[in-house]
Structure 1
Amino acid sequence: MPRRSPAALPKPLGAPQGEPWLTGQLLVAMPGMSDPRFAQAVICLCAHSAEGAMGIVLNQPIEGLSFDTLLDQLDLKPVPPQRRIRMVTGGPVDAGRGFVLHSTDWSADTSLPVAGEVALTASVDILKAIAEGGGPRQGLLALGYAGWAPGQLEDEIQRNAWLNVPADADLLFDGDHAALWRRALAKLRIDPILLSGVAGHA
């Protein structure tokens, strides 16, 4: 993995007032998802507007890289850390960049509000705070993100690729990756077996 610190966030996508943007919602992949990278994916949509969308996949754990190793690569101390957070593959875009999705009891000037008490930060400061035993109470570190061009996500939802469901802390920060997709669907009271003809709206 290249020795790169989490860089600046993608440009925030401002949503015009009154538009039905889905920032802060969870996208839940339909069983027929054609892109294998997003099979049974649950994504926190961190920004959504007429300019496009960006989100973090919550349930694809990183293989072969530990939090301790990442700190060492970034030359952050202490190693071993006093705290660790869960790490996931956040999506196929900019896989060398790090993003921490976290509760808002900790924030920085560069943090992007997502919804409610959830924010996104792409700064080594948050990793240093966590390693030192501080930082946000809840969080996960994602390498890479999922991105959509203008109108692309709306088109995919219309074609029944995704359902959307309101996010909550239990779904965002629960480390049970294998169960997350079914739990997100259960919040909609939907059985995956019955999904083939369901429209993409919560």
Structure 2
Amino acid sequence: MADDAPPINLTNHFLIAMPGMEDGTFSRSVVYVCDHSERGALGLIINKPGDINLADLFDKVDLPLQRADLGVLPVFHGGPLQMERGFVLHDPIVVEGLQPDESVYASTLSVPGGLEMTTSKDVLEAMSSGAGPRRVLVTLGYSSWAEGQLESEIARNSWLTVDADINLIFEAPIDQRYDLALSLLGLQTWMLSPEAGHA
């Protein structure tokens, strides 16, 4: 029986929107899943830049930005929820004396096998002073699915899933991230039908 199947855990995976996904937020999106459990899932879209960059964001929160490498980075549209709130996806910060699940920041979710997602302002303050994580992706808003919702969308062929490639998040050209995420599965866009294929 299907009910006996072990629950899937897509933490530290990419969700890749299928061509039939017409929702404006999620069309051609790649979502990094930060947390997935029986209670639901939470993730950030990594390939939809907004209309401001980090220099603009730091101006809005009255912080100087001492790191020129970050100022030109776009602030991404992370999803349709809490779009006024910032989320910082970053490399794990390793500090001697801290346990693996502890963070130097006040509010950080450590993604097993992957990155950290911080929502507290102290990460911005660290970046402002020239410190902070080496690589960051900042979003306004996030994406969330209720219990069983993501599993049901996957069953309806709304999403493809693949283990996340962290370098794709930080290094790949933004306009190529969708195609590069598909290539992790050995696929190209032309191979996918916009129709959900049920035999």
- Is the Cα–Cα contact under 8 Å of residues 42 and 142 in structure 2 kept in the other structure? yes
Secondary structure of 2:187's aligned partner: coil
Alignment partner, residue 29 of structure 1: 17
2:85 corresponds to which of 87, 91, 97: 97
Q: Which moved more, 1:157-166 or 1:187-196?
A: 187-196
1:73 corresponds to which of 60, 66, 90: 60
In the superposition, the TM-score normalised over structure 1's length comes to: 0.82
Runs of 4+ displaced beyond 4 Å: 79-83
**Kindly tell me: are residues 30 and 187 of structure 1, through their superposed partners in 2, closer, same or farther at Cα, counting changes over 3 Å?**
same
Q: State the distance in 2 between where 1:136 and 1:116 align.
A: 17
How far has the Cα of 1:128 moved from its partner? 1.4
1:132 corresponds to which of 113, 129, 132: 129
Alignment partner, residue 97 of structure 2: none
**Kindly tell me: are residues 69 and 80 of structure 1, through their superposed partners in 2, closer, same or farther at Cα, counting changes over 3 Å?**
farther
Secondary structure of 1:153's aligned partner: helix
Alignment partner, residue 39 of structure 1: 27
Alignment partner, residue 57 of structure 1: 45
1:20-79 per-residue CA deviation (whole Å, 9 max, x = no partner) reads 21111010011111212111100001111121111000000011x232222122122x25
- Is the Cα–Cα contact under 8 Å of residues 182 and 192 in structure 1 kept in the other structure? yes
The answer for unaligned runs of 5 or more in structure 2 is 1-5, 95-102
AA paired with 1:51?
A: R
**Kindly tell me: are residues 38 and 28 of structure 1, through their superposed partners in 2, closer, same or farther at Cα, counting changes over 3 Å?**
same
**Kindly tell me: are residues 134 and 116 of structure 1, through their superposed partners in 2, closer, same or farther at Cα, counting changes over 3 Å?**
same
- Is the Cα–Cα contact under 8 Å of residues 68 and 81 in structure 1 kept in the other structure? no
Alignment partner, residue 147 of structure 1: 144
Alignment partner, residue 166 of structure 1: 163
Secondary structure of 1:170's aligned partner: helix
Query: Are residues 1:190 and 2:178 paired?
Result: no
The answer for unaligned runs of 5 or more in structure 1 is 1-17
1:116-158 per-residue CA deviation (whole Å, 9 max, x = no partner) reads 2411000111111112211111111110001111111111100
Q: State the distance in 2 between where 1:187 and 1:152 align.
A: 24
Secondary structure of 1:157's aligned partner: helix
- Is the Cα–Cα contact under 8 Å of residues 68 and 80 in structure 1 kept in the other structure? no
> Number of residues paired by the alignment?
180
Q: State the distance in 2 between where 1:182 and 1:79 align.
A: 32
Q: State the distance in 2 between where 1:157 and 1:129 align.
A: 38
Secondary structure of 1:180's aligned partner: helix
Larger radius of gyration: 2
Q: State the distance in 2 between where 1:79 and 1:135 align.
A: 11
Alignment partner, residue 8 of structure 1: none
Pairwise CA RMSD of aligned residues?
2.0
**Kindly tell me: are residues 79 and 20 of structure 1, through their superposed partners in 2, closer, same or farther at Cα, counting changes over 3 Å?**
closer
Q: State the distance in 2 between where 1:32 and 1:23 align.
A: 24
